[in-house]
Structure 1
Amino acid sequence: MKVVKSSSLILSVLTMTALLAGCGNSTGSSNNTTTGTNTATTTSTGMGKPLVGGAPNGNWQENFNPFSTAALYGTNGLIYQPLFMFSTVSHDIYPALGTKYQWINNNKTLEVTLRQGVKWSDGQPFTANDVLFTFNELKKYPDADTSGIMKVVTSVVKKSNYVVDFNFAAPNIPFQEYVLQASIVPQHIWQNLGDPTKVNVTNPIGTGPYTLESFTPQVFKLKLNPNFYDVKSYHVPEIDFNAYNSNQSAQLALVSGQLDWAGMFIPNVQQVYASKNPNFHYWFPAGSAIMLYPNLKNPILADLNVRKAINLAIDRNQIATQAEYGYVAPLNPTGVQPRDKNLIAPQYANLTYKQNLTQAAQILANAGYKKGSDGILVSPSGKKLSFTIQVVSGWSDWVQTCQLISQDLAKIGIQVQVQQLQFGAYQSNLQNHNFDLAIGWTNTAATSYKTFYDMLDTHGAWNPEGWSSPTTDAAFNLYKGTTDLNTQKQAMATIEGVMINQLPVMPLFYGETWYEYSTKDYTGWPDANHPYDSPAIFTWPSAAYVLSQLKPVN
């Protein structure tokens, strides 16, 4: 698969802002890293064996809808494709349905040249009409536009069967990542389905390298699409995605050699997994920042005093060493990842978190919160400070993190019950603001702008807390219109000030990208020496490019 290097203008943005998540070099990877990916002899051509992946997300819920935030693994990337795929660990941009793009019209129009000769998996040709239809669906049905693309793009125009223009009211260079990575759907299928967010897709028709072979709640299988335009780059004939109810059951399958590819937390991974077989490897590059999200629609959590007290009461060092086994470290209070430390304003660069229960209790007392007879604080309006904190069932490290947070908050009179949910329900609740507190990720991206924009802009694609502020919106507007590093830093300083002083979310630690793999049947996996893309099985569409790099072992 050919690699498209970004233009000088785009590279300046990526280089200046660095990468927030999925870091792939030695500074962003775990010290406990095993390599050996390319030591086995590989075949130059031909197919390998079925590849087995798995995840501790509970039973699969059949959902191959690319417009859904709960779409199954492989929906985006393997079945439905974007125009381009952006690596979050390198400056590479990999072409998919697009072959070329450029900014024209004083950087207010993004012109994309489409790949010719592509067919949907049902044999129908792919054209610019499919691209126009997809983005018009996002405009017609705003709930499907989870990235807010059509709130920024003013129009999409077909220049020819294979050239499309995306028009903007003003320059917005970083926003190209949203546009170019949106999955494209076939007009001839979806034009009769109505609201795309309400469609239950069980027979997906895409342009990607794989098609659905079978589905059960325990395992679904994708098989190689023989008519895929770049089928020669793929040597994995079938991918089986196994479901597990917990990290423990998935870990047993991994250690016994039943899984080739996984992305889960494993305590003492070197001893428990890598030491068991010379083909077993892992690499934990820095991934997204892990946050404690407060639901700001809850009037008590909307009180800054409550958020300040919660923030002060949490012992992040205990979380990092106990719940995360030392794989991670607490974040800078700005929420900026270590690789982006050059973007942290000088006044915030040396800040660290330190638990202070006395100060937390005093803040609440000064705000009029008093303990009831049961020891739980009551607000001035008579409401108990009693919340739930939501987490995915089976994600044992996050579950323990939530338990530690609950214990910390109990010390200052805040009652927190840990609520474990299946992944689909958890993600739906956060997307729809149906929670009190939740531990969650931030969106990984090729630029810092996208990660923070998603989390804090009024129209951000991953803003479960519901933050909306003219100050942060203005900072994002300043950032997006320039490639000047000093101006970008000025915008980031404003955003960092909001993070520290307003606490829209509470940074916990930088999350490693859990990634385990076996070289028994395939080589070419990304590792610390070959960090070509985000390696995790749950990172889409990046995982589609990873599969294109695998070669069967002789």
Structure 2
Amino acid sequence: MKRSMLSLTALLTAALTGAALAQQPASTFTVVRPTQWGAYNLNPFAPGDQHLLPTNSVIYESLFYVSTLNGKVTPVLGTKYAWSKDNKTLTVTTRGGVTWHDGKPFSANDVAFTFNYLKQFPALDTSGLWKNGLTSVKATNANTVTFNFNKANTPIFQYVAGQMIVPQHIWANVKDPVTDTNQKAVGTGPFTFDSYSQQALRVLKNPNYWMKGQPYVDAVVWLATNSNDAALLKLLKGEADYGYVGVSDPKGMYASKGPNNQYWWPVTGDNYLYFNTTKAPFNDAAFRRAVSQAINTADVAQKAYAGVAKPSHPSGIIPAQQAQWLPANASSLAVKFNAAAADAALTKAGYRKNAQGARLGKDGKALPAFKILVGAGWTDFITMAQVISENLKKVGINTQIDQQAWSSYSGGLQTANYDMGISWGWGGGPTPYYLYYQSFSPEFSAAVGKTAPSNLAHYSSPAITQALAQYRATSDAAAQKKAIGTIATTVMRDMPWLPLTDRSEFSLYSTARFTGFPNAQNPYNAGTADDTPGARLMYLNVKPKK
């Protein structure tokens, strides 16, 4: 270990320049990143792939952190919030005793300024707050901000909560916040930016941070690699403490290689087989349901991910949210793999077989070989499609695997130019509402040939649309659960998609030098990547081993 850390120190010395190197931090938490980052940009309004990794994880802070795993709300610059009785006014109490990195005090005025800044420069409003009912944001005193809406839309809280807050005394003088690279970043976060190169980034502990005694480490360093394999090697060699690295077998390839090697891959989404509901026979719910029953999702998961990922719940609701949100009758509605029952259900629905065992359409003509759209070279999705093809052949349905480059793959799904297609859910959040809203709301669909933002099945249901509206209009937990129950049961009955396998986050970490990582026993964040707001909680909680 001493040899590994010595080589790491040499690497950092070569990669990082500046006077700060004259005084090495007492403890440095090292993150390996299987990517090459871009230009020196610390603009918190810039998209995530344009600003550097520490920007919105340790330099700037939001009002609250809302876990996409279980919906838990953690106070940050906001300490509490409340909706009015008509759910059109959100009142947030901001934290006192906070200072910006330059020593100036933070207040509710900075919060109001930030949100009004989004209105002034619409290109910054990437969550569409001002397009979705927000009418005014005002600081009523130094510690209170009110958000007024022209309609009830309580799920918008997640986007209010997650907006990075900037200091008014600096950004009011920025002429073009869309393109400004903000290289002298001033935030309220636990670390300040120190050094930049294409090989390594470093931030240093904020000695005046508002959480007394935290963070426990003096510096965080990000190291760049050109591949997952290279990142994994640095972890195995003890040259990094954490990496968000996707590998096919985290247990066999990492955890089993050393006593301090651990991983936490919480499920935050699913992979789906989407049906193009704009064309026959996929516009027939009975056909979709029978096809779904013919597919062995346990086998799909085992062969695609060697048992690391499990088969999804038929509702699409992730495991951490099922106890709270699944309706009582979910089990009775769930499609269960049964090839014989699927064969009989297809015949009953009007899709009988001919003498050769080929499945016919309702018009008596043989069904064509349907294409299963996947991304070109995506081995996990290709494997899933192979299993699905084998399953469907047993009930008289022939398929072909259609590999397409990203543009035609995503474009095919979005424009309804496909039969069946495998993809992840293009939506998700702290409750099932966000997945269902982005997946099935009519506003996210489009006519055939036009681009649907995220409703890839091009499916809508009056019952779902009404239930989504009911959820938005209330902040009452019981009423929201009832709405989700309606949506889940409708989805499980109509099967516009078939949930195939879980999708996980990819956190690998070593406890050789640090403790306090999030895990299944202490899921204080959602296991998300090292440049996300949730990662801030990891950087605050990891402690050097004594």
Q: TM-score, normalised by structure 1?
A: 0.71
Rounded to whole Å, the distance in 1 between the matches of 2:43 and 2:273 is 28
Deviation at 1:148, TM superposition (A): 3.5
Counterpart of 1:262 in structure 2 is: 243
Counterpart of 1:453 in structure 2 is: 437
Secondary structure of 1:232's partner?
coil
Counterpart of 2:326 in structure 1 is: 344
Rounded to whole Å, the distance in 1 between the matches of 2:268 and 2:382 is 19
Number of residues paired by the alignment?
486
Rounded to whole Å, the distance in 1 between the matches of 2:162 and 2:213 is 23
* Matched residue type, 2:471: Y
Change (3 A) 1:386 1:291: closer
Structure 2 unaligned blocks of 5 or more: 1-23, 353-358, 445-451
1:71-82 equivalence runs, <5 A = 72-82=52-62
CA offsets 1:125-161 (integer angstroms, 9 cap, x no match): 4343432232234345555434333313332122124
Change (3 A) 1:55 1:321: farther
Deviation at 1:83, TM superposition (A): 0.7
* Matched residue type, 1:206: G
Counterpart of 2:49 in structure 1 is: 70
CA contact (8 A) 1:47 1:552 kept: no
* Matched residue type, 2:37: W
Deviation at 1:84, TM superposition (A): 1.4
Change (3 A) 1:93 1:483: closer
CA contact (8 A) 1:465 1:504 kept: no
Deviation at 1:233, TM superposition (A): 0.6
1:95 to 59, 72, 75: 75
1:133 aligns with 2:133: no
1:112 aligns with 2:102: no
Change (3 A) 1:376 1:530: closer
1:52 to 16, 22, 30: 30
CA offsets 1:326-371 (integer angstroms, 9 cap, x no match): 1232222221223415633455424235386976996996389999
Change (3 A) 1:83 1:318: same
Rounded to whole Å, the distance in 2 between the matches of 1:386 and 1:330 is 19
* Matched residue type, 1:352: V
Q: Which has the higher contact order (CA 8 A, sep 6+)?
A: 1
Deviation at 1:278, TM superposition (A): 2.4
State the identity %.
Answer: 30
Rounded to whole Å, the distance in 1 between the matches of 2:127 and 2:223 is 29
* Matched residue type, 2:298: N
Rounded to whole Å, the distance in 2 between the matches of 1:401 and 1:495 is 27
CA contact (8 A) 2:36 2:224 kept: yes
1:477 aligns with 2:469: yes
1:249 to 208, 211, 230: 230
Counterpart of 2:38 in structure 1 is: 61
CA offsets 1:45-77 (integer angstroms, 9 cap, x no match): x97522122344x32234644442535543323
CA offsets 1:290-348 (integer angstroms, 9 cap, x no match): 3456899xx77996469949867865323311222212322222212234156334554
1:225 aligns with 2:227: no
Rounded to whole Å, the distance in 2 between the matches of 1:529 and 1:261 is 18
1:325 aligns with 2:325: no
1:416 to 393, 402, 414: 402
Report which stretch shifted further, 410-419 or 175-184. 410-419
Structure 1 unaligned blocks of 5 or more: 1-45, 378-384
CA contact (8 A) 1:261 1:537 kept: no
* Matched residue type, 1:145: D
CA contact (8 A) 1:445 1:451 kept: yes
Q: TM-score, normalised by structure 2?
A: 0.72
Cα RMSD (Å): 4.5
* Matched residue type, 1:551: K
1:133-532 equivalence runs, <5 A = 133-140=113-120, 144-150=124-130, 151-187=132-168, 188-189=170-171, 192-194=174-176, 196=178, 204-230=185-211, 232-291=213-272, 304=283, 308=288, 315-339=296-320, 340-341=322-323, 343-350=325-332, 351-352=334-335, 354=337, 366=361, 387=373, 389-390=374-375, 399-405=379-385, 408=388, 412-417=398-403, 419=405, 439-440=423-424, 445-457=429-441, 464-465=454-455, 469=460, 471-482=463-474, 487-500=479-492, 505-532=497-524
* Matched residue type, 2:32: G
Rounded to whole Å, the distance in 2 between the matches of 1:55 and 1:435 is 36
* Matched residue type, 2:483: A
Deviation at 1:216, TM superposition (A): 4.0
